[in-house]
Amino acid sequence: MSHIERVAIVGGNHGNELTGVHLVKRFQQYPNLINRSSFETLALLGNLKAIEEGKRYIDKDLNRCFANQGLQNPQLSSYEDTRAKAIQQILQPQNQPFVDVIVDLHSTTANMGLSLIFCDMHPFLLRLGAYLSSINPMVKVFINPQSREGGFLRSLCELGFVIEVGAVAQNILNAELFQQTEQLIYTILDYFEGCNQGNISQTKSALTFYQYIETIDYPRSNHQEIQAMIHPQLQFRDYEPLNPGDPMFLTFTGQDILYEGVSTVYPIFINEAAYYEKGIAMYLTQKQQEVV
């Protein structure tokens, strides 16, 4: 990995996810917290209007507005499309290269603990994930190659990734998760500093990670109305095994709907509030281990 020159920490891409919003505000007020000697760190708020109004977004999901075709299309004029173009310019000022790293801060109503979300199996990010999970067992690594094409902010640079923390309700601050996320950010910045200074060991280590398989929607009627809820035995069991025959959903009349797959999977983002409108009840992943 070449020398890291510039890191962007972005919070509030979704205006009702307050952990990232208030961490970025803290970093903007006290920049010495994120300053490191070998690289520049920028703290940036994402969806300014949505933050002000306490909403996830104004017109559309900002974190789906960073696809190249959208950024280059002058006809797209919603608030989020306009803001995405402005953020891109902030991350790449005139006559300067794009930031080397984007750390995109999010919170979730699902019980995700401290999750790192990567677009791919980039060796540098895998080593970062292995390092962080070795010192804090709350840290989990989720790899979702589909997010490279989804218009996500993190897809704008090779070393873009998400910190997703939960469970915390929308428009709510959880002090414990806030502090844990803050400490995780400092550890990440220290790791970048150590890499730049040649102080990080290159010893191989094992990384447990969760690979995207598919998304699952709620059972719905012909009119697209939800017909069942997340089963009580599955609720808040993110990153835990779901075996064939285990209960997955519970209908409003009390009938269990079982998982009909042929192998054990590991659901995440279970019952995420913001995903109801996207037709997602959970992500299914495969648990893997690799030496990195």
pLDDT digits (tens, 9 = 90+) for 156-211: 999 999 999 999 999 999 999 999 999 999 999 999 999 999 999 888 999 999 99
Domain end residue (candidates: 203, 220, 243)? 203
pLDDT tens by residue, 48-107: 999 999 999 999 999 999 999 999 999 998 999 999 999 999 999 888 889 999 999 999
- Tokens standing for 108? 């979730």
- Whether residues 93 and 141 share a domain: the answer is yes
Q: Which amino acid is at 202?
A: Q
Q: How confident is the model at residue 150 (pLDDT cuts 50, 70, 90)?
A: confident
Q: Exposed, middle or buried by CB within 10 Å (0-12, 13-18, 19+), for 88?
A: middle
Residue 58's alpha-carbon distances to 55, 104, 156, 176, in angstroms, are: 7, 19, 22, 29
- Whether residues 219 and 160 share a domain: the answer is no
- Whether residues 123 and 268 share a domain: the answer is no
Quick one: what percent of the chain has pLDDT higher than 70?
A: 100
Q: Tally the domains of the chain.
A: 2
Those residues whose C-beta lies under 8 Å from the C-beta of residue 250, and which sit 6 or more positions away, are: 228, 229, 230, 231, 232, 256, 257
- Whether residues 185 and 280 share a domain: the answer is no
- Whether residues 160 and 273 share a domain: the answer is no
In a domain, 188, yes or no: yes
Q: How far apart are CA 283 and CA 109, in angstroms?
A: 14
Instruction: Evaluate if residue 1 carries a pLDDT over 60.
Output: no
Instruction: Please give the helix or strand (H or E) that residue 274 lies within, else none.
Output: none
Q: How far apart are CA 236 and CA 107, in angstroms?
A: 15
In a domain, 13, yes or no: yes
Domain end residue (candidates: 203, 221, 256)? 203
Instruction: Evaluate if residue 261 carries a pLDDT over 80.
Output: yes
Q: What pLDDT, on the 0 to 100 scale, is given for residue 278? A: 96
Instruction: Evaluate if residue 10 carries a pLDDT over 60.
Output: yes
* CATH code at position 71: 3.40.630.10
Q: What pLDDT, on the 0 to 100 scale, is given for residue 134? A: 95
Write down the mean pLDDT value for the chain. Answer: 96
Residue 170's alpha-carbon distances to 55, 107, 117, 165, 257, in angstroms, are: 9, 8, 20, 12, 28
In a domain, 19, yes or no: yes
Q: How far apart are CA 181 and CA 187, in angstroms?
A: 10
Residue 14 C-beta-side C-alpha neighbours within 13 Å: 23
In a domain, 1, yes or no: no
- Whether residues 198 and 216 share a domain: the answer is no
Q: What pLDDT, on the 0 to 100 scale, is given for residue 39? A: 97
> For 225-244, what is the mean pLDDT?
98
Q: How far apart are CA 84 and CA 108, in angstroms?
A: 22
Apex CA 106: angle with CA 105 and CA 109, to 5°?
160
- Whether residues 73 and 154 share a domain: the answer is yes
Q: What pLDDT, on the 0 to 100 scale, is given for residue 109? A: 98
- Whether residues 40 and 184 share a domain: the answer is yes
Domain end residue (candidates: 180, 203, 226)? 203
User: Using an 8 Å Cβ cutoff, are 108 and 282 in contact?
Assistant: no
- Whether residues 150 and 179 share a domain: the answer is yes
- Tokens standing for 75? 């006809």
* CATH code at position 226: 2.20.25.160
- Whether residues 226 and 250 share a domain: the answer is yes
Intra-chain end-to-end CA distance of the chain, in Å? 14
In a domain, 121, yes or no: yes
Instruction: Please give the helix or strand (H or E) that residue 154 lies within, else none.
Output: none
Domain of residue 44 covers: 6-203
- Whether residues 117 and 247 share a domain: the answer is no
Q: What pLDDT, on the 0 to 100 scale, is given for residue 2? A: 74
- Tokens standing for 278? 């996207």
Strands 40-45 and 6-11: parallel
Strands 113-118 and 159-166: antiparallel
Place of tokens 């540098």: 124
In a domain, 108, yes or no: yes
- Whether residues 197 and 213 share a domain: the answer is no
Calculate the dihedral angle through the C-alpha atoms of 171, 175, 180, 184, rounding to the nearest 10 degrees. 60
